[in-house]
Each structure stands twice: as C-alpha cells, then as structure tokens.
Structure 1
Amino acid sequence: MDAQFKSVDWPFLQSIYGWAVLQYQAWARGTIVVPDLGLRTFVLYADHVLEFWVDNQHHFGGDYYAYRRAPVVLHLEPGKHRIDIRLVRDVRMMGGVGQPNIQVKLKLDAVDSALGLHWDRKNVLLPNLVNGKPASLYASILLRNDGYEDVEVIEVEADVPYISSMLSMVHIALAPQQSRPVALNLSCNSSCDEQVTLTVFYRTKVQPGQVLQQKSTQMLHQRSIYEPHKITFLHPSGIVSYAVLRPPSAQASRQCTHDDNLPVLLQLHGAGLEAEADLVAHALDPLPDLCAWVLFPTGVTPWSGDDWHNWGFADVEAAVDAIPDWIKANGWKGPAVDTERWLVSGHSNGGQGTWYALTHRPDKVLAAAPVSGYTSIQNYVPYNLWQSADPQRHAIVQSSLNSYRHESLMANARDIPILQQHGSNDDNVPAYHSRLLWQLIQQTHGNSSYHELPGKGHWFDGVMTTDALREFYQSELNGTKLDKSPMGQFTLVVANPGDMGSSRGIKVLSLELPGHIGSVDVSWNRTSGAWSLETSNVLILEMPSVMAEIGNITIDRQRVVIDLKSNSGKPVWRVLKNSTGMWEVRVLQLTPEMVGRSYVQMIHNPFEFEGIAYRRGRQLGAMDAILRSHGPFLVRSSAETTKHIALQISRNLCQYFAADTVLTNMSSAAETTSNIITVAMGAIMPAGLLEHFPIRVWESKEEQMPTCLEVRDDMGTRRCYRLGNGLAAIFLRPLPDEGLELVVWGEDESSVAVAARLVPMLTGVGQPDFIVMDKRMLWKGVDGVLAMGFFDHWWNVSRNSVFS
C-alpha cells in the first residue's frame, strides 16, 4: 500500500518548516476475509506500521523497520474482520527526498496452530567456518508459539560432527503468541561440514507427555582466517549477536612490529544495513594490511538497536571483548589485540555512532573518522512540529535525550585526532552537520580536520577509503600511543554517567541534578604539580591514583587531602560532595542496618548507601536505562486481563532489539539478575524493594479521601492524583546489583495500555524516569502529562521535575 497526498503543496511547506513537515500521520482501513473453514490461525507481518487494530483489538509496536522478527499471531473466525492502521511517516526511516509517501506492506500467512511451535528458519544466526571449524562458539534460533497453550523447549541438538546445547540451564517456555531467540553453544571437534542439522525438542501443555521435534538444515559458510568473517558472541542481555572480524593480515603481522598489541578499528554501519552485507564487510578491502583488528559490529540489528547508543553500544563493546576469545579458540599466532584502544569510523548513522563513541569513551578512542554523519537525533529532523506543550514539559523530554546530543559533548573529544568527511551534495545528511561539529571542535581547542568532497553525495563507491581516509587510518594506526594521563588542561562533559566512560582517568559517577549536564574543568600546574578541578552539577567523582600521589588537589577551590594508605593500593579513588556542599573522600559500603532507611535519613547520610537506596551504574539515565539488562528481561503481569499487554511488550522487545524475555505472573516471579518489567493494574500496586519509594498507590480507608496515585517530591511534599479518567503511570524502581524494574501501571486495562506505549522501543522519543498521565495524553501529547521527571542519587523525585 502506498499512501499519497498529492493535493498537499509539500515543497512550499518544506521551504518553511524543513524536513519536519514531511513527518505526518494518517489512517487506513481494510477488511480481512476468512473463508468458512472454521477458526483459523494467522500471522500478520506489518512492515513499516507502528500500530493497528483488528476487530478493535489494539496491537501497538507493529514492525516499523520491517524486521519480520516477531509478527502478531491472530486467531480469527470465518467472516469479515476490520483492520485499522495508523500510518506514521518518519524522515530518518522513509527519507526526505522526493514525494513524502508512506509505503506499508501487510502480509497475512495461515499457520498450523496444532504444531504449537513455529521455527523461523530465516532467523538462524551461525558463525562462519574458519579452518574447517566454527569461528566462535555461539548460535541462535528464533522460535514462536502459534498455539493456544504454553510451549516448553527441552533441548536443541546438532547432528555429528557438531555439538550443540542451549545456553539456558533450564527448559525455555514460550507463552501463546510469544517469540523468543534461543541461544546455543555450537562446536565441532573435527573438520566440519558446511551444513549443520539442528533439531528442536519440545512439548506442549496439550500433550505434556509427548516430546515433539522439528529439524532444519543450515549453512555455515567457509572463510579464510584473514578475510572478513562472521563471529558470534553474547550481548550483555544474554542473546547471541554477531560482528564481522578481519584479523591483521600476514603482511600486517610482519610490518606492524612497533606494537605487539594492535588496536581495534571499529567500522559502524549506516541505518538499515547488516554488518555481513558486502557493502559493509568489504568496505575496507582496498586497505588489506592495516595495523589493526578490523571489526564491523552490528549493534544487534540493522538499525543498530537504538542508533549505536544504549543497547547498540553495549553490543559494540561486547564484540570488542570477544576478540580475545576468538584468538584463543582459533589458535591465532599473530599480533595480539589491545581492546582498550579504538580507531572508530562509520558512515551515516554509523558516523553519528562514531561521534557517540568519541564523546562517551574518550579514554579508549585513539582517533576517529566520522563520515557523512549527523550531529544528533534532535538536530537531524527537528521536533518543532510536535504537539504544542508547556515548555517545561518539552524540556523534560529533551533532557531525556541529552546523552545523545553530541553538540553539547564535543569538549570530550579534545586532543583526539579526528578526520571528518562529507559530500557537499549530500541530500540525506546535509553537510551542515559536519561543518557544525567541526566548528564546535575548534571552539573547544580540539584536533579535527574536515574534508568536504565537492559534488559527492551521501554514498558512493569507495566512500570509506578515500585518499584522506587511507592516509588517516595508516598514520593513526602506525603512530605512537596517545598519552591518556590527566596531565594538562581539559574538560569532561557528562549528560548521563550511566553512558559515560572516563576521560584521562577521571569519571563522573553521579550528578547532583539528573537531566542537567555536568562538567569538570581540570587543570594542572607544571611548576607546582598542583591539580585544580572546577565542577558543575557533579556529585561523585572517580579519579586515578596518579592524581592522589601528587597530593596537591583542590576541587571547587577546596583543598582535598588523600590518604593513600586508606586506599589499599586501588588504582582509583572517589570524592563526593556532602549535604553541606563540601567534598569528602569516602569508601562506599552498605551495612544491613542501613537498608530501609527513610529518604530524610539518606539526605543527612547520603554516601554510606551502596545498596538499592543509592542509584548508580547501570541504573543511571532516563527510562531507556531499562535496556541495560544482564540477562533476558522478566516481564510479569499482576492480572489475567493485562497478560496481552505484557505479551505486547515482549513482542516489541524482540522485534526492535532482538531481545529475549521471560513472561510470567507476579506470584511465580523468581530471583533474577535481569531487569524486570512489571505490568500492574488497579488499586494495589506491587511493592518494590525500596520501602520508601516516592511513587505509590495510596488507598484511603475514609470515604472523603479517595484512592490516588501519590508522588512525593524531594522536599517531602505529597501530590495525590485521583483515579478516574484513565490514570496511568510508568516509572523505574531499583533492584539489587544495579538492576532496574520498570513499572507499567494503570487504574484499568485501557489505561495500562496507554502507559505501555511508553516502554522504550524507538529512538528519539525521550522518556524520563517517571511519567504520570491520563487519557488526555492520547490527544494532547506531552501537554497531557500530569507529572514527569527524574529520580536523583537517592531515588527521590528530583527538583527539576514537572507537576500539574
């Protein structure tokens, strides 16, 4: 289907509002006719559709990028069934050149629900063969339950000479209509065939005593050890991902003798591309002898999970960390790898990802070459045609995206060699983006050269190996190591400590006010050896021991004394701002008697809390921090009527992030190291682990005081939002070991569905830590939100939050 609006004067509107006007919404309605053959089961693929209704049953999430990973399973009676589709046009995905049409594709396939389990043979992830054996030890298959009852996967076996087993130590359950990736160990003790037959053993609740099986034969393609080949590894969430690796050539092994541990050259692909595609994996073939381990990550998906940010960047780091395992598994005799030194480059969205790596991991990046990359999501297609709202509410949304606004973080790139390249005739990412960032780098006294190619567009053959890039790769990879010690003068800018690494060994661990940018200006006096740090919006700092050894340190004009003996030889130390605004050196420890103290006690003793009452590490950031799960997401529902909403959340996580989820109810939820998503409804909200959490359902015993959702701010003021008009909320809560729970709550089923639409799924949306809403948000957008904002270091509602 191709939706067109030819009567609209698009060129005129675009001349005023730019690309923002090419983003619009529309509706389409159709009919599904099921022949008179009894109840039938279908799967609906909805390419480029965000949401739709079948017989008024809402399905949110769809398949906007046409991944076809987790289609919707429908059980339909004979007759006509109405389908209503919400059409949404996005410039980044659908383009800003030509007619702004919306092209969607709907495909309805009949399936056999009696089988229960469906094996998606097109979504099998296997490594390449190198020297007759798998290049790595992980594989993955994608399964879906088309039946009416739970399916239990018992085992996955491979035919000889291959050996395989599920990574999970327990059987894997699939709820009806659920899709799940299943991670496997795959190895071979002898010379392996290019074909492997996998057999899935499973059983259903309908026939619990009968073990069923399905087989599939898959290809593992042979590659030379020196050519780009696919390796597999584990993403932090426990799923299997892949990257394309090109080890140093034999010639490079001989000529790169200046360094036994060669750096990693990261090449980040553009939007919609697979890393194994020839366009990506062979982009550097004209430079076969670079002194580096060349790595092409996927970011998990062709759209890199979330634009090389949270989920996608975790995949990049996991791919880098997989290289030593590859060296061991393949008996590599050439140069070793230095996983802490990267030359990062990428094209288009990968160019934007290069800016992200450069500004968020400055201690690891030895050089960077962003090619045709945009500055930030917010600047690529401006948000100026969003629904009108109170500027304070828009500010909260924008603050949620601060970590991805590279324009504000360019000071972190100082002293790192950068080569920018852009075509002057680029009609996809205008050259303005690279020109702007070059200017900002100069203003922060950075080190960047800018090459604008006359007459060139967004992509052309050899775009990643132009003469300028060839010289840059070779000179930087053959050069001396950059001095990453903190000597000199520099600035560290931090939007979200949860995303941010260190700069010159200095790391911001917590901000005073989340949602606002923090900074540290560092200077060192060569003559006296004195360190001077000026901070803004910083609560906790981590510093290298080299600074403590000198001993002459002032922070915000306050002398700080470090007792090296108390540091027990640790390479870093921490300094924290107490409730009076003075900096102190402390060791953070949690004792059992501290658990459960009130927020007032935490204000007076803020730095002794290392447990769930102290927000840190993977918990930091906006709502998309929930994506930093260590293990499959646990999605649990508190009522039978909300199970379909939990299923929808599970489907969206699988569709857009290739993530794995475990669906369960509240009573059977076991201990887990994973992040949890709780779908709750009604006057009883499941209790969290933190006793004095500032958001709760308050049920009054008095008729004059109705039940309400209570939000307590950092000063102890309680605001009570009465149930009625579809009251709903979505917010983060702490779990042990830096884990997170995302609560999706509503007063009834329809309001829970409204809150569930805000579970992180697409980039550029900008959800803060908590949002309270009612049905008015459906038509007023951000202006219909009742309360929204952030949680601070102590899990209090921060003072920059907004209430109505």
Structure 2
Amino acid sequence: MKKTLFTLIFLISLCAATRAQSVYYFSEGLAVGPCTQYGREALYTDQLAYLLYQGKLEKPQDGNTLVKNAKGEDIKWRKVAADTSHRFRGDSFSNGYVYLTYQSSKEQTAILTLTGHDMAYVNGAPRGGDMYRYGWMHLPVKLKKGTNEIYARVARFGRFGGITASLTFPEKPVSLNTADLTVADVVPGLKNDSLWVGLTIVNAGSKTLSGLQIKSSLAGKEIITSVPTLQAMSLRKVGLVVNAADVLAPGKQDATIVLLQNGKIIDQTKVTIESVAEGKQYRRTFVSEMDGSVQYYAVSPQYGSVSKEKPALFLSVHGAEVQAINQARAYKPKDWGVVVAPTNRRPRGFNWEDWGRLDALEVLAIAKKQYQPDPSRIYLTGHSMGGHGTWFLGATYPEKWAAIAPSAGYPTLSSYGSHDGVIPDSAGSPMESVLLRASNASNVLALTSNYKSLGVYVAHGDADRTVPVTFARQMRDILGKFHRDFSYYEHIGGEHWYGDISVDWPPLFNFFSWHSIPADTAVSAIDFKTANPGISGKMRWATIHQQISGLNYSRLQLSMNKKDKSFSGAMENVALLSLDLAAFEKGTSVKISFDGSPAVTYEVKENNETIYLKKEANWQLTVAPAPTQKGIHRNGTFKDGFRHRMVFVYATGGNKDEAGWALEKAKYDAETWYYRGNGAVDIISDKDFRPENYADRSVVLYGNKYSNLAWDKLLAACPVTVENGKISIGEKQFVGDDLAAYFVWPRQDSDVASVAVISGTGKKGFLAANANQYFSGGSGFPDLMIFSLDMLKNGIKEVKMAGFFGNDWSVEKGEFVTN
C-alpha cells in the first residue's frame, strides 16, 4: 500500500512538473537603446523599426552597432540576463529594444506573455504591449520551425520595472481568461437580473470564429449571451449577462460561465459576483456607446433619507493606477448626495482626456438618469491624475459643474507627463505648429478663464513628491489674478496621499454645499474659450458651431441684457454660433450686436427658440449648419474616428504583404485599444463590410484605394486618394512607395460617424503607419497627416503635409502646411 501511494505521489509530482515545463521563461537576450522617441504627439522616430521595415536590420549580436546617435556615438547591442524573478532590468534598453529568440522544433501555437513593454514585433508582426506590467496580455502567436524572433520595445522606465517574457503552450485552441474582469455588484434596491460582465476570450486557433455563445449560471438562473466574432490568433474582451436577482444575502458567490460552440462546451470557468450590504460602496456596469464594450463605475451611495430634496451628485475622478471602486471607498457616504466614480476606461487609461473624457461624460449621463440629482448641485473632484482630470474637465465643460475641487493635481500634460511623456509646449517649425494645434484642447492653462463661472477649491499636500505642490501654487497664482470664488488649502506635511481626507475633506464638501449651477436664463454674461467645438462648444445660451481657423482657440465674451432685450459682446475665431433665446418670450424683438458690427434685430417666433448667426463681413442671421459640415456633432480630428462603436475594416486586396499588413495592423490596434481602454472592437474584412449593416458607426479603414474594397463605399467624395505609389489631395500630389497617411472623413451616410483612414502607398508606407500612439491620452493628430518612412529616422522634416479641412470638409477652405 505504501509503495502504491508513493508511486501515485511520484506520478502526480511528475505530471505537475510536466505542466510547469509547458511554460518557457526567456532568460537571456540582447538589448539596445536609446534608439526610439515616442510620445504624446503625431511625430515619432524609431531607428530599429526604420531598418526592420526596409529589410536592413542585421541579426543582433553582442557588441554590434545598431546605429549612431546624434553625437556620432555607437548604439550597440549588449547582453542582458533575467534575474530570479524572470525580469530583465537595466539602462541598456531604455527607449530601446530587447531582442529575444526561441528555437522551436516544429510549427506550433503558443501564448506569449510579455510585461513592461510598449509593443513587440513577433517574427515581424506588431503586437500589443503591457507597459504597466499587468500581466494579462496573453497573445496567441504562431511559432515557425526554427528561430523565432521577438523585438520588445521599452520606454524610458526599463531600469526600474524591466520586462518579463514567457511562452505557454495551450491545451485547447479557445479559452476563457478571467485575469482581467469587469464586474458589477449585486445592490439591494437596484435591478440585478441583467448584470453585464466583461471577460476575455483567447482564440489561439487558426480560424476566425463566429456564432459562439456564453451561458452564465448563478443561483439557479441561466442566461445565454451571443459572442461577437473572434479573429484567429487573437484575444478579445466580450460581454455577457448574469442574472443575480435571487442573490439576496451579502457576500460573494461564483457564477459558472460556459463557452458554447454549436451547443457544445469548449471551455468553462467561474466568475465571482459580490452582493454588497445596503449603504456600502458598489460597482455597476454598462455597455459603452464608444465601442460596445462593458465598462463600470463605482458609487458611494447617499446615506439615509435625511432630506426630501433631490440629492447632490459628486463626480470623482481617480488617480493613476487607482481603481474606481477604491476611489468610491475613500468617501464616507454623504447625507446630501451620491459620489460616482467613473473609470477613465482603465486605472491609467487616457489621463481623463480623449476617451477618458468621454467615459466621464458617459457615466455622468448614466448617474443623472439613475440618481435623479438636483441639476443645480453637480460637482467635480479628483485626486492626482484625477486632479488633472478635474482641472481639465472643469475648464472644458464649465457649465456642467457648480464647483470643482482638484486635489494633488497637475494642470496640463505639457508640464507633467507619465509613461507617455509630455505634450510639447512649443513648436520649432510651421509643420510642428500645425501638428501641435491638434492638442490645443488639452491646454488647461489656455482655458483658465473658463473657471470664472465655477467655484474652485484647490487642495494639495505641501510635502507631495509625486505631484509637487508647485503645480497647485501655480494655479493659485493664476486664479488670484481674476477669480472671485476660489479657496486654497495646503495640508501641512501632507504627501501625495495623506489618507482618505486627501479626497474626502470636510471643508471641500462644505465649499461645495454653498455653490449651485444657475439657470442659463439667469446668467447675464459668459466668458468661454474652446479649441474644438466638437469637444466643447456650448456655454449656457451660446454655442460655437464653427471656427474661422480650426483648432485654434475661440473665445466668447458676451452679455445678455433682459431689460434691454439685447445681446452684445466680442468674439475671437468664431465663424458660426447659435443663441438660445429661452430668456425672451415669443414676440419679443431682440437686438444683437457683436464685434462692432451693425445690430441685427430678430423677433422671437416661439418659446425656447434657437437662432444662428455667421460671420461674413458682418454678423448676420443664418440657418443651422448642415450635418454634412463641421460642427459640434463632428469636427475632426483623426482620433474622432475611434468612437460611435467603431469597426475596423481591413483590406484583403493588394499583394500578400499589403493584405497581411492590413490584418496585422487592425489586430495590433485592437490589442492596444483593449489594453489602453478596456475596449473591444469588431474587426471585419473589406469583403464582408456593408455600410447598411453598420449604420451610424465609425469606421477605421486599413489599406488604400487599390487594396481596400470599402474605400469607394466610404470615401467616394473624399478629396484625399491614396493609391499605390501616389497620394492626391485636391490638386496636390505626393509620389513614392514609402508614404503613409492618417486622415479623417465624415461618413456621408451618417450625421455623426467618421472614417479614420490608416493608409500607405506601398509596403514601406503601410509599415510607417504602424505606430499607434494616437491611443496616448492627449496626443494630438490633425485631420490629415502625410509622412514618409524616413520620418522614423529624420523626424519632422519628413512630414509632407498636415492640417485641417475647412468647415465644408474641403481642402480649398482648409489650413494645411506642406514641406
């Protein structure tokens, strides 16, 4: 018996060892750097990618020179070895690459898990990165027989965080992964029978899968949810629904999740759902209109029912690496309002800009519907990166808040950056100037006059070494020159986080309590500034619809006199605006005089009427801009194509390299979008794309007129044409097979959706378009940018053309710079 037991234990140990050996950890490699420069702008340089794309990258060897730097010094490959935690560290690959190889005895599938890198080339194909070292980017890869090469690009933090790399050999081609869950809590008094959950499916098979289903089971309740198409050799986060209506007692319960194909189980797992006690902080999920993915927000509910008044709403935006639920838990429940914390799509996400901004607005709209707050008592606050989010969202949408309270925040991404660096604060050439204009909406310092209508409470620890208190003092000094309603507090000895009172500070909430949003009709004067009406164009009773010069700053300094029945004031860079006449009854004769122009008289025809005025030689009445023109609904820039449930459409035409690039690039962008924004996106071929099947959805198109069959369906009226060997913009042409283009164009069959085009004139041009730093928060991309592969080596002088279309989306009325 003892011998049998020993044998059994030995066999179990052997099986465990065999399973352990199915994970291969890379232990040695070569590193080189610095040789790259990526950041929060459209420009980038990458000496290694430049050689790789031209087929001139020599096999790395220790001591060999990759390139020479600007001083003529050799940038050489150096050996690197992983430590006992399988991590490569050191200065040798800061802003550079780590080169790893794997010898495979056969062609096979593996799961590559890299951490600490921005992206990787795996046998030449770009794959998504895990720059924050979360450890759940498990990428299916096809290993060839023989040597497999990985170039992992690492930013400037290689020394501190380092990278890890491993290969796992999967037992099954399709699997569920719960390492990156998005879940809701069961909350007493709320609807719990259809809770959305987000989890990842890994398709390590060679075929694209469609028609899959997920069945959830919890407390005897089952729900089946259809799964979107899964590309071969990819991972995708999908949504499923759980019925938790019969979960009544507080605590955690496991829901069984089963993945079905034609009714057969192909994988299953469990997901923990928590039921919270009444009055406790909780998470709720929703399906985002940005991309159809499952997102969540967190809530610190109102305490009791002390008052019959509608509650106040406090929108609290979190700091870097802070989960929204932890943000909510930092607040004790209030008896006069509810705290709601959006996610910014990820703990780092987009610095509350771009899609982080949209997430905050999406959650704000959901919170208003769910909690029915007093519309005059809505407040904004946040800590650290959320302090920046408070400064930014407060300046961008001043009419939405009664007061704001940034804590330990920095105002701009031009003075304080994170992994993605900073937005450059000045331009060295006309070309760089037009590129940086696309980032103007991020410049809080240029928008500080928008705080005039808000109460502002600034809090900061005077011993903060993460975000120095000098940022708070800078804003105190700026506000002190014009603001009549702000308070400033430095916590003596306070570091970056000095306990929950860093955000849940009683004097801050007391400050909020005596501020309210006035009715628009009660506001007699506005001073409002914006760089992009498509982001923020409305302030009380005036809305900027179109600019004279796109993405330069526009300003309104207007007065409304109800006694004299008049509007007057001055404007800068405004081509078309509207006025809400709700303050005046039907039949009232209103006089309008702007910028010294002759007065326009208008008789109000109906209550709550809106009129439009345009700037010609003088201001004159006009009609609302057509949806086909630029306006608050759709104003560009290139990044505007990445919303409205966008779909990625890749080319299947062209030669093998061109078609291969289009699919690889679409998958790479989808992986990056998933990682950066907790996102999910449909990837379909041009052959399968039918515009009517994707109504009012934006399209990201990969390929050119020659290779992508959807080009003529979406871009027939576009003045930009990219063909093999040539790009035409109106009457201008650029010739060569190494040109890349990013541009945006309105979908002609939609009033809101756009087409974002990622294109090239040949293999080299397509490869030059690989970089996707447009997913960095605050990075600026104009309506159009054309550059050559040589930009990767020589920088801005290889940008051929960049700028903005006119308000009619024409080239002739636009503003472009050419080299």
Asked if TM exceeds 0.5, the reply is yes
Aligned equivalent of 2:727: 709
- On the 8 A contact 2:200/2:235 being kept in 1, the answer is yes
> Counterparts of 1:452 and 1:754 in 2: how far apart (Å)?
48
Higher mean alpha-carbon deviation, 421-430 vs 756-765, is at: 756-765
> Counterparts of 1:755 and 1:126 in 2: how far apart (Å)?
35
Superposition RMSD in Å = 3.2
Show the 5 A alignment for 1:371-770. Answer: 371-381=407-417, 390-465=428-503, 469-477=505-513, 482-485=518-521, 487-500=523-536, 502-525=538-561, 528-546=564-582, 549=585, 551-558=590-597, 559-565=599-605, 568-569=606-607, 571-577=608-614, 580-588=616-624, 607=625, 609-611=626-628, 614-627=629-642, 629-639=643-653, 640-641=659-660, 642-670=662-690, 671=692, 672=694, 673-681=696-704, 683=706, 686-687=711-712, 689=714, 691-697=716-722, 708-712=726-730, 718-724=731-737, 726-735=738-747, 736-758=750-772, 760-770=774-784
Q: Cα deviations across residues 414-461 of structure 1 (Å, max 9, x unaligned)?
A: 131111012223222222222222233233435222222333322221
Per the TM alignment, residue 177 of structure 1 is displaced from its structure 2 partner at its CA by 2.2
Whether 2:228 is the aligned partner of 1:228: answer no
Between the two proteins, what is the percent identity of the paired residues?
A: 20
Specify the code of the residue in structure 1 equivalent to 2:635. L
* Stretches (4+) displaced over 6 A: 1-6, 382-389
- On the 8 A contact 1:134/1:188 being kept in 2, the answer is no
Per the TM alignment, residue 682 of structure 1 is displaced from its structure 2 partner at its CA by 6.8
- On the 8 A contact 1:269/1:275 being kept in 2, the answer is yes
3-state SS of the aligned residue for 2:776? coil
- Count of residues paired in the alignment: 711
Per the TM alignment, residue 235 of structure 1 is displaced from its structure 2 partner at its CA by 1.7
Aligned equivalent of 1:17: none
Q: Cα deviations across residues 616-640 of structure 1 (Å, max 9, x unaligned)?
A: 334224222223x222533332433
Distance 1:411 1:389, change over 3 A: closer
Aligned equivalent of 2:358: 314
Q: In structure 2, which of residues 75, 100, 111 is the aligned counterpart of residue 43 of structure 1?
A: 111
> Counterparts of 1:188 and 1:282 in 2: how far apart (Å)?
23
Q: Cα deviations across residues 596-619 of structure 1 (Å, max 9, x unaligned)?
A: xxxxxxxxxxx4x333xx123342
> Counterparts of 2:121 and 2:648 in 1: how far apart (Å)?
26
Q: Cα deviations across residues 128-162 of structure 1 (Å, max 9, x unaligned)?
A: 12239765732222212111111224322222546
Structure 2 residue runs of 5 or longer lacking an equivalent are 1-26, 35-90, 654-658
Distance 1:325 1:503, change over 3 A: closer
Q: Cα deviations across residues 233-253 of structure 1 (Å, max 9, x unaligned)?
A: 222222111111122111xx2
Whether 2:294 is the aligned partner of 1:294: answer no
Structure 1 residue runs of 5 or longer lacking an equivalent are 7-21, 95-99, 204-208, 328-335, 589-606, 700-706, 713-717
Distance 1:314 1:388, change over 3 A: closer
Per the TM alignment, residue 362 of structure 1 is displaced from its structure 2 partner at its CA by 1.4
Distance 1:492 1:28, change over 3 A: closer
Q: In structure 2, which of residues 303, 317, 328 is the aligned counterpart of residue 249 of structure 1?
A: 303
Show the 5 A alignment for 1:42-441. Answer: 42-55=110-123, 57-59=124-126, 61-68=128-135, 70-89=137-156, 101-112=159-170, 115-131=172-188, 137-161=195-219, 163=221, 165=223, 172-191=228-247, 194-203=252-261, 211-237=264-290, 238-250=292-304, 253-254=305-306, 256-257=307-308, 260-277=309-326, 280-285=327-332, 288-303=333-348, 305-323=349-367, 326=370, 336-338=372-374, 341-381=377-417, 390-441=428-479
Distance 1:424 1:615, change over 3 A: same
TM, length-normalised to structure 1: 0.81
Specify the code of the residue in structure 2 equivalent to 1:643. L
Distance 1:514 1:378, change over 3 A: same
Per the TM alignment, residue 61 of structure 1 is displaced from its structure 2 partner at its CA by 4.1
Specify the code of the residue in structure 1 equivalent to 2:237. P
Specify the code of the residue in structure 1 equivalent to 2:278. I
TM, length-normalised to structure 2: 0.80
Per the TM alignment, residue 79 of structure 1 is displaced from its structure 2 partner at its CA by 4.3
Q: Cα deviations across residues 16-47 of structure 1 (Å, max 9, x unaligned)?
A: xxxxxx999543444333464x3332222332
- On the 8 A contact 1:341/1:364 being kept in 2, the answer is no
- On the 8 A contact 2:648/2:702 being kept in 1, the answer is no
Q: Cα deviations across residues 63-90 of structure 1 (Å, max 9, x unaligned)?
A: 223344544322214544333233212x
Specify the code of the residue in structure 2 equivalent to 1:62. G
- On the 8 A contact 2:113/2:136 being kept in 1, the answer is no
Q: Cα deviations across residues 560-613 of structure 1 (Å, max 9, x unaligned)?
A: 333422xx54x35142315x344343444xxxxxxxxxxxxxxxxxx4x333xx
Per the TM alignment, residue 542 of structure 1 is displaced from its structure 2 partner at its CA by 2.7
Distance 1:753 1:70, change over 3 A: farther
Higher mean alpha-carbon deviation, 686-695 vs 428-437, is at: 686-695
Per the TM alignment, residue 283 of structure 1 is displaced from its structure 2 partner at its CA by 1.4
> Counterparts of 2:167 and 2:116 in 1: how far apart (Å)?
17
Q: Cα deviations across residues 343-402 of structure 1 (Å, max 9, x unaligned)?
A: 111111100110122112212101111011111111225989989985212212321111
3-state SS of the aligned residue for 1:436? helix
Per the TM alignment, residue 659 of structure 1 is displaced from its structure 2 partner at its CA by 1.6
> Counterparts of 1:223 and 1:133 in 2: how far apart (Å)?
11
Distance 1:23 1:631, change over 3 A: farther
Distance 1:661 1:390, change over 3 A: same
3-state SS of the aligned residue for 1:75? strand
Specify the code of the residue in structure 2 equivalent to 1:460. Y
Specify the code of the residue in structure 1 equivalent to 2:359. D
Specify the code of the residue in structure 2 equivalent to 1:419. Y
> Counterparts of 2:526 and 2:273 in 1: how far apart (Å)?
49
Distance 1:341 1:299, change over 3 A: farther
Specify the code of the residue in structure 1 equivalent to 2:788. D
3-state SS of the aligned residue for 1:152? coil
> Counterparts of 1:480 and 1:710 in 2: how far apart (Å)?
53
Specify the code of the residue in structure 1 equivalent to 2:613. L
Per the TM alignment, residue 481 of structure 1 is displaced from its structure 2 partner at its CA by 5.0
> Counterparts of 1:346 and 1:451 in 2: how far apart (Å)?
15
